[in-house]
Amino acid sequence: MTTQPDEHLRYPIGRFAKPSEYTSELFAQSINTIKTLPARLRAEVIKLTDAQLNTTYRPGGWTLKQVVHHLADSHMNALMRIKLALTEEHPSIKPYDEAGWANQIDYSLPVESSLKILEGIHQHMVALYESFDEAQWNRSFLHPERGVVYTIALSAAMYAWHSNHHLAHITETMKQWDK
Amino acid sequence: MTTQPDEHLRYPIGRFAKPSEYTSELFAQSINTIKTLPARLRAEVIKLTDAQLNTTYRPGGWTLKQVVHHLADSHMNALMRIKLALTEEHPSIKPYDEAGWANQIDYSLPVESSLKILEGIHQHMVALYESFDEAQWNRSFLHPERGVVYTIALSAAMYAWHSNHHLAHITETMKQWDK
Amino acid sequence: MTTQPDEHLRYPIGRFAKPSEYTSELFAQSINTIKTLPARLRAEVIKLTDAQLNTTYRPGGWTLKQVVHHLADSHMNALMRIKLALTEEHPSIKPYDEAGWANQIDYSLPVESSLKILEGIHQHMVALYESFDEAQWNRSFLHPERGVVYTIALSAAMYAWHSNHHLAHITETMKQWDK
Amino acid sequence: MTTQPDEHLRYPIGRFAKPSEYTSELFAQSINTIKTLPARLRAEVIKLTDAQLNTTYRPGGWTLKQVVHHLADSHMNALMRIKLALTEEHPSIKPYDEAGWANQIDYSLPVESSLKILEGIHQHMVALYESFDEAQWNRSFLHPERGVVYTIALSAAMYAWHSNHHLAHITETMKQWDK
């Protein structure tokens, strides 16, 4: 893995690190992060003008508005992958072209629609996570393009990171403006 | 296709019929149905008590609450299938076990989470539909289990039907109670 | 009371008529109307473009957007008047200049903010109404400018009418466009 | 003003202090606080169980749920007082019995209704505040029971404090549980 010249802009909270072990503290922390993301995101984006929402978080990167809509699309996929893993034996999930999706016209909608989707979806994710025993945390799916096997436990850690990762794109950009 | 003894309970607005042709009137009608479903659904379910939400719409069928959560899950998949069809060449989508999903614990959440998801998702669906030219309406995906090819145009007609189909499960059940 | 030349535009569902008696059917009907108004309103306004929202429902009247924001302001006052009547002995409420309020800059906000306010407020109104015994329905407040005494029962009938009255301004205007 | 034995529980961020001067920094800070309160509040209360929501923040005080509903009622009044001050010359506003209101049955509703009301209302407050020139900030209303004249500027500072004051009741209570 090569560090990129704009590594700090791309990965403001660092890259995702696979947990070395799964403890109840880690689960509680991931759940808490996922539970609060929609409101923490809303508290930030509500401060932004349209012009600010249409600013990229790094040269050549997505606009802040695209970041919000991407979170909704990505976590919609997350919820589905959890349910696929619960109802099928080690399913192969359907990857999607996140760059292509971000260029569709619905990414120019006001952010409210995606904030609502996130509020709803994260409640479902959390209701599921909070009910899991060890067997359920260990159910898994295959991401066929990455060739990676994800347990639900691993994916929960990853989506918690992913929540804060993209939120940091927004808050780091806002800090630049305040200087 | 065999008619079932409880056909009128299962299919209160009739089974889905594939459109014989796609006209701008049909598109406008489908879009209007999809645009208004979340609010029409909210206007009905807001009248229901918890006990009513936990009643099945037919013997052996889902509860009204499961119907609401199913709509959110199904239309989340719908939105994704549209985007997959737009960004890949005739992709094969990932089916899901809707009966299995309906038995997961998140289907016991209050309906508000799924009403929010539907409000957000349908705005995205409509923003996409309203932007389409003929080439985009004709983009397609394969449902590998059913062996059916869906153009986006066909799927729009189907999801409009699906919206009213499940809403009718709720409103028909409510009519029984008023007798 | 003089009928106005544009009476049908001003009063599409007719003027408010004071109920001759208060029955449990009337209460149930008023509550049902108030319970569903926010979603029925959302189902209509979601169909409108910005240009349509900025159209007046009659020459010299409010725009459809102003009508939506007025409903939020008016029913916020309604909720407060109920609570004042419950917690004080026949209070005199504070009237407000609804024409003046409609010219403030917040009436140019997108309608989403007022739809959310209405969703929340109507839930509170309904929770209160559904709990009332006869003594509570008969509690009252004075509207000092109109010199009218309102029981909560009368105000419930009036706000149910008021809900459908303004919704009809919107739906009647939309019918004109479809011709 | 006598300090109370449970002063730190009652006033976790201290009592409100009238600003000595009104600067653009103060206005920006108040607006920012008011803009983000609904989402910051949602991010906290979403973590709470029903049992936790029904816990008081101090012996003899309101439950956390009552605190949330009180914020909605209080800030509804705040929005109205701003509009009264804008559309009338130094109006006398209608006080309300906040303890009496907190004992009404709608305060036992789930918090979602009041979170929505707050999301909508704060958008209106902020749209107004952000449009004000000095003359508008200086418009005023009389609180007849307290005998206090409030300029809109003073009330903005007060409602910013009030937002964080009640949010701190919730977050301070949560800290106790984590010990």
DSSP helix/strand/coil, A20: coil
Question: Cα(A152)–Cα(A125) distance, rounded to whole angstroms?
Answer: 11
C150 found inside a domain: yes
Question: Is it the case that residue D1 has pLDDT exceeding 90?
Answer: no
Question: Is it the case that residue D78 has pLDDT exceeding 80?
Answer: yes
DSSP helix/strand/coil, C89: coil
Closest partner residue to C43 (CB to CB) among B40, B46, B47 is B40
D58 found inside a domain: yes
What would the pLDDT profile of B95-105 be if each residue is shown by its tens digit?
999 999 999 99
Contacts C43 to B, Cβ<8 Å: 36, 39-40, 43
CB contact under 8 A, A94 and B94: yes
Question: Cα(D22)–Cα(D27) distance, rounded to whole angstroms?
Answer: 7
Question: Is it the case that residue B1 has pLDDT exceeding 70?
Answer: no
C22 found inside a domain: no
Give the count of alpha carbons within 13 A of C166, CB side only: 28
Question: Cα(B106)–Cα(B87) distance, rounded to whole angstroms?
Answer: 30
Pick the closest to residue D87 from D34, D152, D31, D146 (CA basis): D152
pLDDT given for residue B178 in this prediction: 81
Q: B28 and chain C: CB distance < 8 Å anywhere?
A: no
Question: Cα(A71)–Cα(A118) distance, rounded to whole angstroms?
Answer: 8
Instruction: Scan for tokens 């945390």, then name that residue.
Output: A137
B18 found inside a domain: no
* Cβ atoms of residues B65 and B54 within 8 Å: yes
Q: A102 and chain B: CB distance < 8 Å anywhere?
A: no
N- to C-terminal Cα distance for chain A?
32
Question: Is it the case that residue A1 has pLDDT exceeding 70?
Answer: no
| Amino acid sitting at position C17 | A
Question: Cα(C113)–Cα(C99) distance, rounded to whole angstroms?
Answer: 20
DSSP helix/strand/coil, D110: coil
Question: Is it the case that residue A5 has pLDDT exceeding 90?
Answer: no
D20 found inside a domain: no
Mean of pLDDT over chain C:
96
What would the pLDDT profile of C140-169 be if each residue is shown by its tens digit?
999 999 999 999 999 999 999 999 999 999
Stated pTM of the model? 0.96
Question: Is it the case that residue B142 has pLDDT exceeding 90?
Answer: yes
Question: Is it the case that residue C121 has pLDDT exceeding 70?
Answer: yes
A155 found inside a domain: yes
Question: Cα(D176)–Cα(D172) distance, rounded to whole angstroms?
Answer: 7
Strands A148-151 and A140-143: antiparallel
Question: Is it the case that residue A92 has pLDDT exceeding 90?
Answer: yes
What would the pLDDT profile of B43-81 be if each residue is shown by its tens digit?
999 999 999 999 999 999 999 999 999 999 999 999 999
What would the pLDDT profile of C70-104 be if each residue is shown by its tens digit?
999 999 999 999 999 999 999 999 999 999 999 99
pLDDT given for residue D2 in this prediction: 73
CB contact under 8 A, C96 and D115: no
pLDDT given for residue C1 in this prediction: 60
In this structure, what CATH number is given to the domain that contains residue D100? 1.20.120.450
Interface test with D, best of A29, A31, A36 (most D CBs within 10 A): A36
* Cβ atoms of residues B40 and B125 within 8 Å: no
CA distance B39 to chain C (A): 5
Strands D140-143 and C148-151: unpaired
Count chain A–chain D contacts defined by CB atoms under 8 A.
27
Question: Is it the case that residue D179 has pLDDT exceeding 80?
Answer: no
Domain count, chain A: 1
Interface test with D, best of C87, C88, C93 (most D CBs within 10 A): C87
Which residue segment(s) compose the domain that A121 sits in? 31-175
Instruction: Scan for tokens 């005998």, then name that residue.
Output: D147
Instruction: From residue C102, give the alpha-carbon distance in Å to each of C70, C99, D5, D14, D149.
Output: 7, 5, 47, 37, 25
Q: Where are the beta strands (DSSP E) in chain B?
A: 140-143, 148-151
The mean pLDDT of D146-157, rounded to a whole number, is 97
Candidate from C43-52, C144-153, C170-179, D20-29 with smallest mean pLDDT: C170-179
Question: Cα(A147)–Cα(A23) distance, rounded to whole angstroms?
Answer: 26
D67 found inside a domain: yes
What would the pLDDT profile of B86-134 be if each residue is shown by its tens digit?
999 999 999 999 999 999 999 999 999 999 999 999 999 999 999 999 9
Q: pLDDT band for A4, please (50, 70, 90 cuts).
A: confident
The mean pLDDT of A115-122, rounded to a whole number, is 98
Q: Which residue of B has its CA nearest to C116?
A: B116
Candidate from B72-81, C5-14, D75-84, D112-121 with smallest mean pLDDT: C5-14
Q: A10 and chain D: CB distance < 8 Å anywhere?
A: no
Question: Is it the case that residue D178 has pLDDT exceeding 90?
Answer: no
Contacts A101 to B, Cβ<8 Å: 83, 87
B155 found inside a domain: yes
